[in-house]
Amino acid sequence: MVKIEHKDFIHIANKFVDKPFEITNAWVEYQLAKGNKALFFTDSVHQPQILCWARVKKIKFIGEVLDIQGPIYNSNVTVKQLHKFFDKLKDLAYKGIFINSNIEYSTLFEIACRKAKFKRPIGQIGTSLTILVNLDNFNPDTKWKRNLKKAESENYKFEIKNLLSIEDCKVIEKLHEENAKIKNLVYVLDSDQVHRLVNNENILVCFLYKDSVPIASRIISIEESISYDIYACNSLESRNNGATQFLMQKIFDHLKEIGVKHFDFSRIPIGKKGANGVYEFKNSTRGDVVQYNGEWVYFRNMKLRHLYYIYNLLINKKDFY
């Protein structure tokens, strides 16, 4: 494993295709805007086959840990190579290493993790399932189609923006604030930070208007043949009369038109309290349910694995999956 500079990460990342949005420079820039410290790693500068970056996080009662974004790896990588890479990560002077991989599940990945003494966390705080929509064969259920029919009688307007002003980002912030209240989300979006995210060439931002008033937006990452959902910002108004289905249908049509083959909803919160409506909406696309590699943790002192669970349970009050 080799620690590299940010500019080297960008160069190497360009050699990988269909990357999850977490491994794009747009996401790195966003995390830097939020004040996170970033470190970058590859297995080899000259012939890279594995790549990741990490946020440095300080967790109360535990100390500093690395939150790994990725890793991504070539299709011909071996268990031995991945195992060696994970082992080297463990040598870094941090209390723990966290991985929450958005790559489709692979036994090779799990074997490499387990050989390197990584374990599943006690209490899974994120779902490892997503829905992948095949845009060439999109065939939603009847409820989706009924909602599209309702939308025909509404004065909806769809707009795509590639470069956004700070005022556009303030609209996104406001929409997300309303969405957070509806869904009891614990995080908020900041317009300045969003501005750093969206003004990257792989990011697409879509707006939905009713009577010229913005009622929803969607931030999407496009990577060659696949696109990833990053943030959905839906007002209360957008939950009525097929607005969200209208927005997503327009997005799917545009993505197909520019040659994108799949849309990844970036996790489905099935089983989470109060989130069944989100799952039902995404599932109405009749996309394929896919499992990610998901969450893995390594702690130098394995008692910290139990302490981290207690911290999430009592302090963070996490809703475990």
* Residue 274 located in a structural domain: no
Query: Does residue 142 share a domain with residue 117?
Result: no
Residue 153 scores a pLDDT above 80: yes
Report, as an integer, the average pLDDT of 258-265: 98
- pLDDT tens per residue across span 12-65: 999 999 999 999 999 999 999 999 999 999 999 999 999 999 999 999 999 999
Query: Does residue 72 share a domain with residue 21?
Result: yes
DSSP state of 157: E
Which of residues 125 and 134 earns the better pLDDT score?
Answer: 134
Confidence of residue 249 (pLDDT cuts 50, 70, 90): very high
Comparing C-alpha atoms, which of 138, 132, 98 is closest to residue 118? 98
- pLDDT tens per residue across span 61-116: 999 999 999 999 999 999 999 999 999 999 999 999 999 999 999 999 999 999 99
φ, ψ for residue 89 (rounded to 5)? -60, -40
Contact 205, 199 (CB under 8 A): no
3-state SS, residue 198:
helix
Report, as an integer, the average pLDDT of 256-261: 97
Q: Find all residues with CB under 8 Å of 21, minimum gap 6, and list them.
A: 27, 202, 221, 223, 228, 230, 266
Residue 275 scores a pLDDT above 80: no
Contact 126, 275 (CB under 8 A): no
Question: What pLDDT was estimated at residue 180?
Answer: 81
Report, as an integer, the average pLDDT of 285-299: 97
Q: What is the CATH number of the domain that holds 37?
A: 3.40.630.30
Spatial separation of the C-alpha atoms in residues 99 and 184, rounded to whole Å: 25
Contact 268, 283 (CB under 8 A): yes
Task: Count up the domains in the chain and report the number.
Answer: 2
% of the chain residues with pLDDT over 90: 87
Question: What pLDDT was estimated at residue 250?
Answer: 98
* Residue 45 located in a structural domain: yes
Strand residues in the chain grouped as ranges (E): 2-4, 37-42, 50-59, 63-73, 96-104, 129-134, 156-161, 203-210, 213-223, 226-234, 262-264, 288-299
Query: Does residue 143 share a domain with residue 22?
Result: no
Residue 293 scores a pLDDT above 90: yes
Q: Provide the 10 A C-beta neighbour count for residue 189.
A: 20
Question: What pLDDT was estimated at residue 179?
Answer: 82
Question: What pLDDT was estimated at residue 319?
Answer: 82
Query: Does residue 224 share a domain with residue 251?
Result: yes
Structure tokens at 92: 């870094």
Spatial separation of the C-alpha atoms in residues 211 and 16, rounded to whole Å: 42
* Residue 16 located in a structural domain: yes
Question: What pLDDT was estimated at residue 245?
Answer: 96
DSSP state of 288: E
Query: Does residue 111 share a domain with residue 183?
Result: no
Query: Does residue 142 share a domain with residue 79?
Result: no
Confidence of residue 317 (pLDDT cuts 50, 70, 90): confident
Domain of residue 138 covers 131-266
Question: What pLDDT was estimated at residue 162?
Answer: 80
Residue 166 scores a pLDDT above 90: yes
Query: Does residue 109 share a domain with residue 163?
Result: no
Spatial separation of the C-alpha atoms in residues 91 and 17, rounded to whole Å: 29
Residue 181 scores a pLDDT above 90: no
Q: Find all residues with CB under 8 Å of 188, minimum gap 6, and list them.
A: 173, 176, 177, 180
Confidence of residue 257 (pLDDT cuts 50, 70, 90): very high
Structure tokens at 263: 């849309």
Q: Find all residues with CB under 8 Å of 32, minimum gap 6, and list them.
A: 38, 196
* Residue 321 located in a structural domain: no
Comparing C-alpha atoms, which of 231, 215, 229, 235 is closest to residue 156? 215
Question: What pLDDT was estimated at residue 307?
Answer: 95
Report, as an integer, the average pLDDT of 197-203: 94
Helix intervals (H) in the chain: 6-13, 25-33, 79-90, 107-115, 142-151, 166-183, 191-198, 243-257, 276-283, 303-310
* Residue 282 located in a structural domain: no
Structure tokens at 289: 């349910």
Question: What pLDDT was estimated at residue 320?
Answer: 84
Q: What mean pLDDT, rounded, does the chain reach?
A: 94
Contact 266, 229 (CB under 8 A): yes
Residue 277 scores a pLDDT above 90: no
